[in-house]
């Protein structure tokens, strides 16, 4: 089944983890054996060969660079200008992958339909470029709201105003506070440009403001349910109901601490915690029960988003194993048509409606 993954930090992996994603996952792991600079070394799950093997032909690929103030405990850049430059370096990696024939940027409905037809109607996976829609995770790197226009010109089509902690435009995970003046101006510019608002990582206060003032397309690229894992990073049932009313789609994230309660970073392990692919279906099903249908969920794995095999479902060796999800969903009573919607159809419907 054709799959769309709505959140992968591909350029971050290539540029900051120094991974050549054209190589198979096992070769990347071999090269990282013995490295200790990051906890997920030699445990990656994502590379182009595995995307192709898993028939994951379209992804939402990120730019990400956080600004941090001098008293912040978070890692990041010390000025918005440095963060902007980092995202521009990430952009150039995507361009290099396009030049190499590995990727193709999707920015409009015509390109989307052409690319999906290529993946669904031809059989030789090894020669197909992986389509990517460019998204900005956290808006700190936009020096001013006007920089959004520059980003749109190079293909940016979605943005999440916040990431972790306090942000220049909005506060995110583990922070509180309503949208500030810059954040409101940013959402106005996004709406004018017909850009998709990614509600992921918005703190509750900022989420409420954004839902009230933004009239464009909304998705949550990688988010799970607070009712199952109680943390402010997750959506409450009331937040899920608002997103459903807004015709949004929510992508299930495979970061283990978001899937099972009681996870301790660096202490817990997937098998010990019973964290397998069934757990993400629990979160998806919870949203479906609220919605009364399977039209508001999708895949947004965030695999290799600063974690690897040590912090994702134990029955997932690489991202290609997403192909096991339809079978698991059908065992829960979901129809083949439901599975098609979850694996790709809901994202396609949202994109086509946005880019009409």
Nearest one of 87, 47, 89, 45 to 67, comparing CA atoms: 87
Distance CA 115, CA 173 (A): 34
Tokens 């979160």 belong to 283
Q: Is residue 138 helix, strand or coil? A: coil
What tokens were used for 121?
């109607």
Q: Are 269 and 239 in contact (CB under 8 A)?
A: no
Distance CA 262, CA 286 (A): 19
- Cβ partners under 8 Å of residue 26, min gap 6: none
Nearest one of 301, 296, 298 to 313, comparing CA atoms: 301
Long-range contact list for 67-70, CB < 8 A, 24+ apart?
67/140, 67/141, 67/167, 67/168, 68/165, 69/166
What per-residue confidence (pLDDT) applies to 124?
Answer: 77
Strand-pair partners of 56: 3
What per-residue confidence (pLDDT) applies to 126?
Answer: 79
* CA-to-CA dists, residue 45 to 23, 25, 116, 191, 322, angstroms: 12, 6, 24, 35, 11
Domain boundaries, the chain: 3-135+224-338
Q: Are 226 and 258 in contact (CB under 8 A)?
A: no
Give the phi and the psi of residue 226 in degrees, each rounded to 5.
Answer: -65, -30
What per-residue confidence (pLDDT) applies to 122?
Answer: 77
Q: Are 309 and 14 in contact (CB under 8 A)?
A: no
Distance CA 58, CA 265 (A): 30
Distance CA 62, CA 66 (A): 13
Q: Are 233 and 201 in contact (CB under 8 A)?
A: yes
pLDDT of the chain along its 356 residues, tens only? 999 999 999 999 999 999 999 999 999 999 999 999 999 999 999 999 999 999 999 999 999 999 999 889 999 999 999 999 999 999 999 999 999 999 999 999 999 999 999 999 877 777 899 999 999 999 999 999 999 999 999 999 999 999 999 999 999 999 999 999 999 999 999 999 999 999 999 999 999 999 999 999 999 999 999 999 999 999 999 999 999 999 999 999 999 999 999 999 989 999 999 999 999 999 999 999 999 999 999 999 999 999 999 999 999 999 999 999 999 999 999 999 999 999 999 999 999 999 99
What per-residue confidence (pLDDT) applies to 71?
Answer: 87
Distance CA 305, CA 321 (A): 17
Q: Are 284 and 252 in contact (CB under 8 A)?
A: yes
What tokens were used for 106?
């999707």
Q: Which CATH architecture has domain 3-135+224-338?
A: Alpha-Beta Barrel (3.20)
Q: Is residue 136 helix, strand or coil? A: strand
Distance CA 259, CA 253 (A): 8
Nearest one of 7, 104, 3 to 56, comparing CA atoms: 3
Distance CA 351, CA 345 (A): 10
Strand-pair partners of 105: 132
């Amino acid at each position: 089944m054709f799959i769309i993954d709505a959140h992968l930090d591909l350029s971050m992996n290539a540029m900051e983890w120094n991974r050549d994603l054209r190589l198979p996952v096992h070769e990347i792991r071999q090269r990282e054996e013995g490295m200790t600079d990051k906890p997920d070394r030699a445990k990656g799950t994502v590379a182009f060969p595995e995307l192709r093997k898993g028939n994951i032909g379209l992804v939402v690929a990120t730019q990400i660079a956080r600004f941090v103030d001098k008293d912040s405990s978070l890692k990041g850049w010390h000025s918005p200008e440095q963060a902007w430059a980092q995202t521009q370096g990430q952009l150039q990696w995507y361009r290099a992958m396009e030049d190499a024939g590995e990727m193709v940027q999707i920015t409009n409905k015509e390109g989307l339909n052409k690319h999906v037809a290529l993946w669904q109607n031809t059989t030789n996976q090894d020669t197909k470029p992986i389509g990517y829609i460019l998204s900005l995770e956290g808006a700190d790197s936009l020096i001013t709201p006007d920089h959004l226009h520059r980003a749109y010109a190079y293909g940016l089509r979605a943005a999440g105003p916040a990431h972790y902690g306090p942000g220049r435009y909005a506060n995110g995970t583990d922070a509180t506070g309503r949208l500030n003046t810059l954040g409101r101006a940013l959402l106005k510019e996004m709406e004018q440009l017909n850009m998709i608002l990614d509600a992921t990582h918005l703190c509750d206060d900022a989420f409420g403001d954004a839902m009230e003032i933004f009239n464009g397309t909304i998705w949550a690229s990688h988010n799970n349910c607070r009712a199952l894992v109680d943390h402010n990073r997750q959506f409450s049932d009331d937040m899920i109901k608002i997103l459903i009313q807004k015709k949004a789609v929510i992508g299930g994230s495979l970061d283990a601490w978001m899937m099972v309660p009681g996870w301790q970073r660096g202490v817990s392990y997937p098998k010990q915690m019973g964290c397998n692919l069934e757990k993400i279906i629990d979160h998806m099903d919870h949203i479906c029960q609220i919605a009364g249908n399977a039209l508001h969920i999708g895949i947004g794995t965030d695999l290799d988003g600063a974690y690897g095999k040590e912090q994702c479902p134990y029955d997932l060796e690489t991202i290609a194993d997403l192909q096991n999800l339809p079978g698991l969903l059908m065992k829960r009573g979901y129809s083949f048509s439901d599975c098609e919607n979850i694996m790709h159809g809901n994202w396609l419907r949202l994109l086509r409606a946005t880019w009409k």
